[in-house]
Amino acid sequence: MPRPCFDPLLDADVGDATCMYVDEYDSDENILESEVVPIDVYDVVESFHPHPPYQYCTPASRNENARMIDNRECALFNGWTISRIQTANNFTRLQTVRRLHIDCGFEAEVINNVLKQYTVFRPLRLSNESGLDLPNVVWADGPSSSKPKLPLHFAQEFPNKLGDIFNQINKGVAKFCPNQNCLTHNCHVHIDQGWEMYTPAFVPKQPRHTSEDLRALADGPCGNDCFVSSAEDAMEDDSAEDCFLVPEDVVDVLSDVLKLEPDMLPCYLAVICKTIDRQNGDSFKKMTCRQAFVLRKKMIGDEKVVQELDDKDAMQDGRQTPVKKRRKRKLVQTKPKKPKSKRKRINVCSWESFTITLRALRAHAATPASASASSRRHTASGIAVVTITVCAAGPGAIQPALIIQGVVAGGVSVVRWGVNVTRICAPCAMRGMLPILSVSVFLLRVDTNNSFLQEHGYPVHERRAYAEEIQGTLIFFQLNLLIKYVFPPFMQRFEVKEAKYGLGAFALEEIRKEDIIEYVGELLDNIEEKLDHRAIIQQHSDLNYCFGMGESKRPGKSDVAVAGTTVDAQWLGNPTRFLNDSKPRPANCVADELVVNGERRLLIRAVKNVKKGAELTLRYGDDYWKHAKNGGGP
Ligand SMILES: C[S@@+](CC[C@H](N)C(=O)[O-])C[C@H]1O[C@@H](n2cnc3c(N)ncnc32)[C@H](O)[C@@H]1O
């Protein structure tokens, strides 16, 4: 029955059309309470189709994957802009259309047909709630056929011991969200869809080589006390007394590393253990390759290796060819090899663009233990355990193709990446997919004697807090890099190398005026909270990668406690983090702030042509240096 409707705002009876009755009933269906709620009514045109609701996983660093597509890569839509990129809106629209074409694979003609009805194509994204179907956006009504679900068998259960290195690593790995737009571990969208355990957990590797195999594998001794040159003493290795001189904490590190890389050459093991800098009156300076060799032998046990390999053979024989004769292994003492000239040490990665990332990793591993940018290559006491997940990814495709794991010790990489990444990317490209390299990095700080804290005189409470955080604890961070056509255009054009002030970014080819690259990093929501321990590291290392947005667009200006106003490239970033201050000369780049798809982003834009080999620079501004003078850090 129609009831009169009184709008308290209008103080008038407005009839039935603009209000709704909300009634509460008792169990006998009598109205207990009735409320009249005014409602807004809009005329809906027949052609209106509301955009279906969708959800993003909310990334911690939403701008991480925003590769800007320039007109050389995609010139198709240039005519669509009113003028050259001048305004944030124009820019956003152009980027959006280019992504539709390049990243999402829509034909230019299809996009054109949809958009040509607009004189100037209208913003494709009007607000946070409406807009564009970007790749990897998870739709509320479930993934469409073009967005394959991650198979559930990726979920793995594994036993964990508290305090064990694998426990620590796996805690971080378990909830890593595979979405390239998402850097959140506990991303509820993916977890809701049963993707919690996307990344295979770290499990201890089984050794495949006996000690003597390792001697045979080494190309030659790396120095006088190398385990290879001491092969003649091999028989006495078991009772080698100098191994008892290795302190317990160093032995613990060795034992942890052996769980990750049981077949690592003792010379590399020694490098890692050497990074534990014991000053304060302790006589132990470094582990020798021979000590590492003997300790490995004691920990792993050659008989166990042989037994396990035989068991594995037996299992395979049982499964595949019952009649196949089992190959018996024997423990043999190999003859010592003739020492060759000094072995060429480590060739980590021949894939140049990836080396940049590795360099950054090494810097991370080393930073807290070093006093300045220039010395950090030499003083290092960290181990980074690196997982690289290579995903074959097209629109929405998120299946990891390969996982590479390894260890990077501060200053020295001890991983030999067994896989040429281009090989993996090639088939993706052939299938018309965009190869995406997604990198997760786990940095394990090993600073068991707090030496750097003591050295730098932190007050006791801070020391404890900091030590708790880093000592034997996993500092977990991830990098998601979108790599297209194997070499990402921006990485190809930059080179990070030694500059006047630490590392700097140098042009590998001429960079033209108005060329752009995004400054990416973690988008910090609450500066005061999140910069807590960063401040210590920044102050200590004298390096600050925070870039303030809003009023100030300079690195280091990070004291604005407003959501999303600082991009911190300390742990996540691209080579723009290495742009140094041009002072006192004018800079060749400036930073622009843009709102792209409703999110604040920073672009570094060349303001003049930059010649090949020249350093790319910015003006940090006086505030930055005032800040640094007053104790550095944010
Ligand atoms: C955003 S980082 C730039 C990359 C840095 N050079 C590195 O090695 O990682 C900013 C830091 O670089 C150093 N820096 C950059 N420009 C400088 C300049 N003109 N003079 C002195 N130090 C500078 C300062 O330590 C500053 O905190």
- Tell me which amino acid residue 346 is: I
Q: Would you place residue 184 in the very low, low, confident or very high pLDDT band (cuts 50, 70, 90)?
A: very low
pLDDT at 277: 45
* pLDDT tens-digit map of 456-469: 443 333 333 332 32
| Alpha carbon separation from 621 to 63, 85, 454, 618, 630 (Å, rounded) | 24, 26, 33, 9, 15
Identity of the highest mean pLDDT range in 85-99, 456-470, 499-513:
499-513
CA of 544 to the centre of ligand 1 (A): 8
CA torsion, ordered 337, 342, 346, 347, to nearest 10 deg = -100
Average pLDDT of the residues in 580-609? 77
Q: What is the ipTM, given to two decimal places? A: 0.99
Pocket of ligand 1 (CB under 6 A): 373, 501-504, 542-545, 555, 577-578, 580-581, 583
CA of 373 to the centre of ligand 1 (A): 8
Residue with tokens 């300076």: 285
Distance CA 483, CA 101 (A): 16
Say yes or no to pLDDT of 80 above 60. Answer: no
pLDDT at 580: 93
Tokens of 89: 């809106």
Average pLDDT of the residues in 503-520? 78
Say yes or no to pLDDT of 82 above 80. Answer: no
Domain boundaries, given as residue ranges, for the chain: 6-38, 211-319
Top mutation candidate among 361, 501, 537, 624 for ligand 1, by most atoms within 8 Å of CB: 501
pLDDT at 12: 57
DSSP state at residue 238: G
Closest among 392, 480, 390 to 429, alpha carbons compared:
392
CA of 500 to the centre of ligand 1 (A): 9
Atom of ligand 1 nearest to the CA of 544: 27
Tokens of 331: 């423990």
Say yes or no to pLDDT of 160 above 50. Answer: no
Distance CA 260, CA 74 (A): 44
Query: CB–CB of 181/56 below 8 Å?
Result: yes
83 vs 217: which has the higher pLDDT:
217
405 vs 30: which has the higher pLDDT:
30
Average pLDDT of the residues in 421-443? 29
Query: CB–CB of 583/495 below 8 Å?
Result: no
Distance CA 631, CA 495 (A): 30
Lowest-confidence segment of 276-290, 480-494, 514-528, 539-553 by average pLDDT = 480-494
CA of 169 to the centre of ligand 1 (A): 32
pLDDT at 503: 80
* pLDDT tens-digit map of 47-61: 544 333 223 333 333
* pLDDT tens-digit map of 295-329: 888 888 888 888 877 777 666 555 444 333 433 44
Top mutation candidate among 520, 543, 566, 619 for ligand 1, by most atoms within 8 Å of CB: 543
Which helix (H) or strand (E) covers residue 311, if one does?
A: helix 302-319
| Strand partners of residue 501 | none
